[in-house]
Amino acid sequence: NVVSTGVITIPLMKRGGYPTHSAAAIEAVASTGGQLMPPMMGVAAFVMAELLQIGYAEVVLAALIPAILYYAALFIQVDLQAARDGILPIEKSLIPRLLPVAGRGGIFMTPFVVIVLCLFRWSLQPETAALYAALTLLPIGFLLGYGGDRLTLNSLAASFVKTGKAGLELLMIGGAAGAIIGVLNISALGFALTSELVGIAGGSLLVLLILAAIVCIVLGMGMPTLGVYILLATLVAPAIIELGVPDLSAHLFVMYFGMMSMITPPVAIAAFAAATLAGAPMMKTGWQAVKYGWSAYLIPFVFIMSPALIMQGGALEVALSFTTALFGVLLVSVAVTGFLFTPIAPAFRIVYAAAGLALIVPVYAFAEAPWLNLAGGGLGAALIAADVVRRRAQPPAERPVPATAGE
């Protein structure tokens, strides 16, 4: 994902004024999140549904709110960084009009609509939904095309060859992962790791989750997505489940931290690939990616604490947990960026972070959680109001000036 989209997005961000390492980190975090965002999650989500013997739609629904929070944190930080550094928006004259663009490219949304309808409206199997979505592209490609180019029999045949090669790669990865799992099961090493993790944690779920997160990141370094998930689902998820965590929550937890190995130094392959495209320092890009992706290191702990964030609970519980978490993500992102409407002093950044973390705690997590949410919400509202007042009192000359593109 990073290589295919980064060649377009990274130069655009650099031209807009983002530093090279920031542009690369944004691309790495955004592309990594594609494996976590419904409805078209990565292949690991399909494997998860098979392992847990549940419908793919259930996995998608469970992953929706954490993915929204992940991208909300990224978007807020990128937007606040632009305001902080004086990165100006694109001139209105250069922005294409919505209707003409939608008229030319809207046809490409058709397969996504078909997949969503097949999965959620007609409850079809994922492979059947994907087949129907692919079939809808054939008449579109042959009859309409795009930009004057239409699908031909030669290009269709080439797509079959390309798909076959991609399928072989997945088969090889799955086969290798299966061999590893077989060895672990025969030798009982998987059971031994589960016992060791539970034993070291001493029965504490929080300690176990911290250990599991570290193990997931280390084991996931340098591995492809499918292999990462299969390995972690076999080695780490059982330890979390043993302490009473629901299966789906445990598997989403290990999947998240497995994906975070892609942007976590020292072996952050997604961040380093983006850094190569941008011509940016690799380690600097990696740590910047960790900053942009901070929510993915926290949210899995939250949905283990209270499954409302993965749609496990009543509608009111889910809505309240999502609303407070979204406000909390805003406040923590302000703390990480150090800017809202005006620059935030270091001491106040700590206060913003504390208020945000208090809000991210699900309202039904424990008896005192509602009071913690109220305190965080009140403190956050007061901080934002104070910053608005400071902004209005600030002379224009003291406001941020535009940064030079590519700095």
pLDDT digits (tens, 9 = 90+) for 352-394: 999 999 999 888 878 888 999 999 999 999 999 999 999 888 7
For residue range 223-239, what is the model confidence (pLDDT) as tens digits? Answer: 777 888 888 898 899 99
Rounded-to-10 torsion of CA 348, 354, 359, 360: 120
Give the confidence band of 405 by pLDDT, cuts at 50, 70, 90.
very low
Q: Give me 217's structure tokens.
A: 């990141």
- CB under 8 Å to 5, separation ≥6 — which residues? 27, 31
The residue type of 83 is A
Dist. CA 78–CA 392, nearest whole Å: 23
pLDDT computed for residue 365 by the predictor = 77
Residue 111 scores a pLDDT above 80: yes
- CB under 8 Å to 269, separation ≥6 — which residues? 221, 222, 262
Give the confidence band of 407 by pLDDT, cuts at 50, 70, 90.
very low
The number of CA neighbours under 13 Å toward the Cβ of 49 is 19
Dist. CA 326–CA 73, nearest whole Å: 9
Among 30, 114, 119, CA closest to 78: 30
Among 7, 88, 77, CA closest to 279: 7
pLDDT computed for residue 235 by the predictor = 86
For all residues of the chain together, what is the average pLDDT? 86
Dist. CA 56–CA 46, nearest whole Å: 6
Give the confidence band of 209 by pLDDT, cuts at 50, 70, 90.
very high
Q: Of 77-86, 163-172, 181-190, where does the model show the most confidence?
A: 77-86
pLDDT computed for residue 32 by the predictor = 92
Whole-prediction pTM: 0.86
**Look-up: residue for tokens 């999502």?**
322
Q: Give me 84's structure tokens.
A: 């902080």
Dist. CA 22–CA 137, nearest whole Å: 36
What does the DSSP assignment read for 27-45?
HHHHHHHTTTSSSS--HHH
Residue 406 scores a pLDDT above 70: no
The residue type of 227 is G
pLDDT computed for residue 150 by the predictor = 80
Residue 289 scores a pLDDT above 70: yes
Task: Find the range with the poorest average confidence among 7-16, 186-195, 246-255.
Answer: 186-195
Rounded-to-10 torsion of CA 378, 384, 390, 395: -170
Dist. CA 225–CA 181, nearest whole Å: 16
pLDDT computed for residue 400 by the predictor = 55
The number of CA neighbours under 13 Å toward the Cβ of 348 is 16
